Amino acid sequence: MKISKIIIFIFLFLCSLNANQSSKKLAYIVSDLDIPFWQIMSKGIKEKANEFGYEVDIYSSQNLKKNELENLAIALSSKIDGLIISPINSSTAVTLIELAKTKNIPIVVADIGSDSEDYLSFISSDNKNGAYELGKILTKYMKDLSWDKEGTVGIIAIPQKRANGKARTLGFVEALNEENIKSAGLYQQVDFSYEETYNYSKKLIDENENLRAIWLQGSDKYKGALDAIKDSKKEGQIALICFDAEPEFLEMIPKGILIGSAMQQPYLMGQEAVISLDNFFNKKEVIKEKKLPILAISKDNIEEKLQTIKLNVLGIKE
């Protein structure tokens, strides 16, 4: 009889633990869910939250600060237990963190960065090293074609107010400098549209007669850059290299349409963000800052890295 009571007590205790865990509610506030990168990160967050038995609501800010604040207000009013943010930029992250902290909500920053370090955990990519390794792929390509002596490289960058944007530019330019290849200039994206990408690419081409490559610090509007190269009758004379990945890159890179891409692992980043909150809820150690490696991919290694790219980069489960 005594043993039975002990077994019942243990069972009820375990059930209460599961009940407490399953009752946890998370919110994910993301800068713009129209961008595939954030869609894939959201997928990683949702699937890991489901695995842990957590409810998660996802809010897209459409890259507008007003929406970002409204999303936070809605999330906080729904009595969340944890918050994951991929902010519009590093400065808007400060406001989100300060407001969430007034409610004692643990916060994980997933990519972009924050000018405040008052968060539980920061999950990011090693943007500087990833961009550096991508730069090495490009400089080798240019040297093999003898384009390195007079050829220049134009950059279409994500906003340099973002910590990740600054790191990408620093790493990439470092690789160019090592081979004495000059930058042809840098334009920062604002609305991340096809038209903006096309126009910036056309400007770089028109303003620099020795332009030999364009580096797009993103992936989903690559067609804008390719079309600008085509319309300028510069196919085969100007190379394109990107950051992040689209499913079609798996065919474009081996064919040489795209020289290479530095691929973050958004699916894995999303999962790691939820793991940080789960560790906090269960009083386990939480790593303050975690940098995930970026895959610098070219036709030389894409086959070897294919399975990792499909799952962790593109969120494709087979």
**Mean pLDDT over the full length of the chain:** 93
The owner of tokens 């916060």 is: 107
The answer, yes or no, to whether residue 18 has pLDDT greater than 50, is no
Cα angle 147-150-153, degrees, rounded to a multiple of 5 = 75
Pick left, alpha or beta for residue 218 (phi over 0 → left; psi -120 to 50 → alpha; otherwise beta): beta
- 113 and 237 belong to one structural domain: no
Bridge-partner residues for 102, per DSSP? none
Positive or negative torsion for Cα 27, 29, 32, 38: negative
Domain extent at residue 62: 25-124+266-292
- 217 and 198 belong to one structural domain: yes
Q: What's the pLDDT band for 22 if we cut at 50, 70, 90?
A: low
The owner of tokens 């490559």 is: 213
The predicted structure's pLDDT at residue 11: 40
Give me the CATH number covering residue 250. Answer: 3.40.50.2300
The predicted structure's pLDDT at residue 223: 98
Nearest residue to 244 via CA among 219, 212, 214, 209? 219
The predicted structure's pLDDT at residue 12: 43
- 218 and 109 belong to one structural domain: no
- 90 and 35 belong to one structural domain: yes
Q: Taking residues 283-305, what's their average pLDDT?
A: 97
The predicted structure's pLDDT at residue 16: 46
Q: What is the full DSSP assignment across 153-197?
A: EEEEESPTTSHHHHHHHHHHHHHHHHTTPEEEEEEE-SS--HHHH
- 234 and 278 belong to one structural domain: no
Confirm whether 313 is domain-assigned.
no
Q: Give the predicted TM-score (pTM) of the model.
A: 0.82
